Amino acid sequence: MNAAMKLLLAATALTAAANAQAATYAEGFAPFDGWKTRWFGAQSNAQNYYVSEYGDDPAYQGAPDVEGLWLSDGDSYRDPGDYSTIDIRFSDDFAASLTSFSMDVASALSSVGVTFFDRAGAAIGTFTVSQSPQQSAYFTPIGYQNVAVTSANGIGGFSFATLAQGNVVVDNLVAETAVAAIPEPATWGLMILGFGMAGASMRRRSVAVRFA
């Protein structure tokens, strides 16, 4: 094997290693203002319950002592359909890359069911979130329970059962994705050099055969 082919194979191996990298996304809601520009708001239909229902300022969290997000899917009691459930869907490309997802949930209800599903809509995890042990003076549930899933088929989103809207707070969201990473500039340079040397080697061989 000549030097050009060895260089080309080395560049290919480096690119494959880069493509195997994963990305981790973490989201909290303190400070709350501007969360829609971060990954959870940008990659799903999630809404702030108080903003979507009552038109409050986007910085408003629902009570002075709330650090999490009062979760809504944007459906309103003014709209037809199932208002009380929360159905969160990730964008297609993001869902396809998701390998794991976790979040902390605080509930004002005695219990609330949450189901995660893959891109095809098949359930990949179902949990019952207990009522938070206490509530603040503003009726904010205090005390979180963590729920988490993994999937080799992407994660399409999650749904909270009946009456959840206006009663559930989420925080500390973490998502992991398997992404096709962009090769580093050095890797691109190595690949281009390898292709160039391989092409030059082939041209020299062609000329040598023609004049042999």
What pLDDT, on the 0 to 100 scale, is given for residue 7?
Answer: 45
Same domain as 190, residue 100: no
Q: Are 15 and 184 in contact (CB under 8 A)?
A: no
CATH number, domain at 97?
2.60.120
172, 187: one domain: no
- pLDDT on residue 9: 46
Q: Which tokens hold the place of 148? A: 């988490």
pLDDT of residue 204: 54
- Statement to judge: residues 11 and 63 lie in one domain: no
pLDDT exceeds 90 at position 186: no
CA-based torsion, 206, 188, 98, 41: positive or negative: negative
Flag whether the pTM goes above 0.85: no
Coil/strand/helix, residue 58 = coil
Residue 43 amino acid letter: Q
Indicate if 172 and 192 belong to the same structural domain.
Answer: no
181 φ, ψ (degrees, to nearest 5): -70, 150
Domain count for the chain: 2
Q: Place 64 in a pLDDT band, splitting at 50, 70 and 90.
A: confident
Spatial CA neighbour of 170 closest among 137, 127, 124, 122: 127
One domain, residues 12 and 27:
no
Band of residue 63 on the pLDDT scale cut at 50, 70, 90:
confident
Residue 32 clears pLDDT 90, i.e. is over it: no
Same domain, 83 and 12: no
45 and 79 fall within a common domain: yes
Same domain, 41 and 93: yes
Over its C-alpha atoms, the chain yields an Rg (Å, rounded) of 25
Mean pLDDT of the chain: 81
Is pLDDT at 155 greater than 90 in this prediction? yes
Angle at 79 between CA 75 and CA 81, to 5 degrees: 80
Task: Name the one residue in this structure whose structure tokens are 């995890």.
Answer: 125
pLDDT greater than 90 at residue 47: yes
Q: What is the pLDDT of residues 102-133, one digit of tens each?
A: 999 999 999 999 999 999 999 999 999 999 99
Q: Structural domain of residue 9, as residue ranges?
A: 1-20+182-212
116 and 26 within one domain:
yes
| pLDDT given at position 104 | 98
User: CA geometry: angle at 72 spanning 66 and 75, to 5°?
Assistant: 150
Same-domain pairing of 11 and 30 = no
What pLDDT score does 69 carry? 94
pLDDT for the residue 68 = 93
Closest by CA position to 43, among listed 102, 92, 99, 86 = 92
Residues 155 and 211 placed together within one structural domain of the fold: no
Token digits of residue 136: 């603040």
The single residue listed with the structure tokens 């080697």 is 201
Q: Same structural domain for residues 8 and 37?
A: no
Residues of the chain with pLDDT > 90, as a percent, come to 50
